Amino acid sequence: MACCALMMPEEVQTISACSDPLTDNNQNSFLHSTLEQFFTAKTRTLKIDKTDAVAVIELQRYLTEQQNVVKQQPLDNYSYDMIVTDGVWQAKCILDCSLNHLIHKNIIRSGIDINITQCSFVYNERRLGQGCVCIEKIEHGSKESYVLRKIKDLDSLPMISKDDFGNIVALQSDSPLQVGRKHYLSLWNNEDPEGRLWVPDVPPSDVVLDVSKMTLLCDLESLLGCMFRPLPLIVRVIHKSRLRYYGKPGLKIYYPYQAYFEVADQSGTMSLVLWNELCPEWYQRLNVGTVLYLQNYTLKQSYQNRSRPHIDNHRMKSFHSVEICLNPRNPTAVLTVVPAKSVPPQWGLPEVSYQFAIRSELDSLASNSACDVIGLVTFVSRVERIKSKGNTDPEKYWTYRWVHAVDGTSNIPFILEIFASSQPEIFNGLYPMTYLVCTQMRKCQEQDSLPYLTSSCETQIFTTGYHKGQPYVSDPRVKSFIQWTKTLKDSVMLKKTAVGGHYCFPHAPLIFTQSVADGSAQVPLVAANDLKSEMEGLHYREHKRLAIQGQIMAVQYVTLPEETLSDQQMVQSVVAVSDPPSDQRTVEVTQMLINRETTPSSVQSSPSRRKRKQAKKRVMKRCYITRARMQEKREAGHGLTEEELGEEESDSETEEVGPLEKRTDQTRASGQLGPPDIPQSEGATGERAVADCDRTSWESSSWPKQRQEVLEYLHPGGVYSESLSQRFRFDDKTLLLQQSNLHAARWTPEQTTDTLSPVTCKGYYKITILGINQQMAIDAAFVPVMSSGDPRSLGLTQDPHDNTLLSCLSAGFICPLADPLSQSEVALPEPEEILATAEELKDTHLVCILDLCHLGGEKVEVIISKVYRMTDIALV
How distant, in Å, are the alpha carbons of 529, 628, 770, 843 from that of 708?
17, 57, 12, 18
What average pLDDT does range 346-369 have in this prediction? 94
Say what the pLDDT of residue 631 is.
42
Percent of the chain with pLDDT over 70: 77
Say what the pLDDT of residue 597 is.
43
Say what the pLDDT of residue 822 is.
72
Residue 593 predicted with pLDDT over 80: no
Q: Cα(311)–Cα(303) distance, rounded to whole angstroms?
A: 18
Percent of the chain with pLDDT over 90: 56
What average pLDDT does range 123-130 have in this prediction? 73
Residue 251 predicted with pLDDT over 90: no
Residue 262 predicted with pLDDT over 90: yes
User: Which of 419-428, 447-456, 649-658 is least confident?
Assistant: 649-658
Residue 137 predicted with pLDDT over 50: yes
Q: How far, in whole angstroms, is CA 410 from its chain's centroid?
A: 28
Q: 490, 370, 361: which is closest to 438 by C-alpha?
A: 370
Residue 630 predicted with pLDDT over 90: no
How distant, in Å, are the alpha carbons of 627, 694, 825, 827 from that of 579?
33, 16, 10, 9
| Bridge partners of residue 138, in order along the sequence | 116
Residue 343 predicted with pLDDT over 50: yes
Q: Cα(569)–Cα(565) distance, rounded to whole angstroms?
A: 11
Q: Which amino acid is at 540?
A: Y
Residue 424 predicted with pLDDT over 90: yes
Residue 704 predicted with pLDDT over 50: yes
Say what the pLDDT of residue 695 is.
52
Q: For residue 377, give the 3-state DSSP assignment.
A: strand
Q: 531, 396, 517, 507: which is closest to 446 by C-alpha?
A: 507
Spatial contact of 239 and 458, defined as CB atoms under 8 Å apart: yes
What average pLDDT does range 646-674 have in this prediction? 38
What average pLDDT does range 327-347 have in this prediction? 94
For 663, residues 6+ apart whose C-beta sits below 8 A from its C-beta are: 432, 433, 434, 435, 464, 596, 597, 598, 599, 657
Q: Cα(592)–Cα(662) distance, rounded to whole angstroms?
A: 9
Residue 100 predicted with pLDDT over 60: yes
Q: 584, 639, 669, 630: which is closest to 108 by C-alpha?
A: 669
Confidence of residue 632 (pLDDT cuts 50, 70, 90): very low
Say what the pLDDT of residue 261 is.
97
Average of per-residue pLDDT values in the chain: 80
Spatial contact of 529 and 661, defined as CB atoms under 8 Å apart: no
Confidence of residue 838 (pLDDT cuts 50, 70, 90): very high
Q: Cα(839)–Cα(337) distance, rounded to whole angstroms?
A: 71
Q: Cα(717)–Cα(673) distance, rounded to whole angstroms?
A: 9
How distant, in Å, are the alpha carbons of 241, 360, 541, 728, 826 from that of 408?
29, 9, 33, 20, 27
**Burial of 178 from C-beta contacts in 10 A (0-12 / 13-18 / 19+):** buried
| Tens-digit pLDDT profile for residues 705-744 | 999 999 999 999 789 989 999 899 999 999 999 999 999 9
Say what the pLDDT of residue 171 is.
54
Q: What is the DSSP letter of 643?
A: H
Q: Where are the alpha helices (DSSP H) in 115-245?
A: 146-150
Confidence of residue 125 (pLDDT cuts 50, 70, 90): confident
| DSSP, residue by residue, 509-568 | PSSEEE-TTT--BSS-B--GGGHHHHHHTPPTTBEEEEEEEEEEEEEEEEEPPGGG---G
User: Which of 402-416, 470-484, 654-668, 860-874 is least confident?
Assistant: 654-668
Say what the pLDDT of residue 360 is.
96
Residue 231 predicted with pLDDT over 80: yes
What average pLDDT does range 278-296 have in this prediction? 96
Q: Cα(731)–Cα(428) distance, rounded to whole angstroms?
A: 18
Spatial contact of 718 and 673, defined as CB atoms under 8 Å apart: no
User: Which of 51-55, 83-87, 223-227, 585-589 is least confident?
Assistant: 585-589
Q: What are phi and psi of 690, to 5 degrees?
A: -70, 130
Q: For residue 617, give the 3-state DSSP assignment.
A: helix
As a dihedral over the C-alpha atoms of residue 84, residue 86, residue 91, residue 93, rounded to 10 degrees, the angle is -50
Neighbours of 874 (CB within 10 A): 9
Confidence of residue 77 (pLDDT cuts 50, 70, 90): confident
Residue 794 predicted with pLDDT over 60: yes
Say what the pLDDT of residue 114 is.
94
The pTM of this model reads 0.84
Say what the pLDDT of residue 567 is.
34
Q: For residue 861, give the 3-state DSSP assignment.
A: strand
Q: Which helix (H) or strand (E) holds 852?
A: strand 846-856
Residue 47 predicted with pLDDT over 60: yes
Confidence of residue 834 (pLDDT cuts 50, 70, 90): very high
Confidence of residue 254 (pLDDT cuts 50, 70, 90): very high
Confidence of residue 410 (pLDDT cuts 50, 70, 90): very high
Say what the pLDDT of residue 605 is.
41
| 153 vs 17, more confident | 153
| Tens-digit pLDDT profile for residues 486-532 | 999 998 999 999 999 999 999 999 999 998 888 888 899 999 999 99
User: Which of 6-20, 175-189, 203-217 is least confident?
Assistant: 6-20
Residue 680 predicted with pLDDT over 70: no
User: Which of 659-663, 778-782, 871-875 is least confident?
Assistant: 659-663
Q: Cα(539)–Cα(424) distance, rounded to whole angstroms?
A: 20
Q: 860, 863, 501, 829: which is closest to 671 by C-alpha?
A: 860
What average pLDDT does range 152-173 have in this prediction? 66
Say what the pLDDT of residue 430 is.
97
| 290 vs 563, more confident | 290
What average pLDDT does range 409-423 have in this prediction? 97
Residue 643 predicted with pLDDT over 50: no
**Burial of 656 from C-beta contacts in 10 A (0-12 / 13-18 / 19+):** buried
End-to-end CA distance of the chain: 61
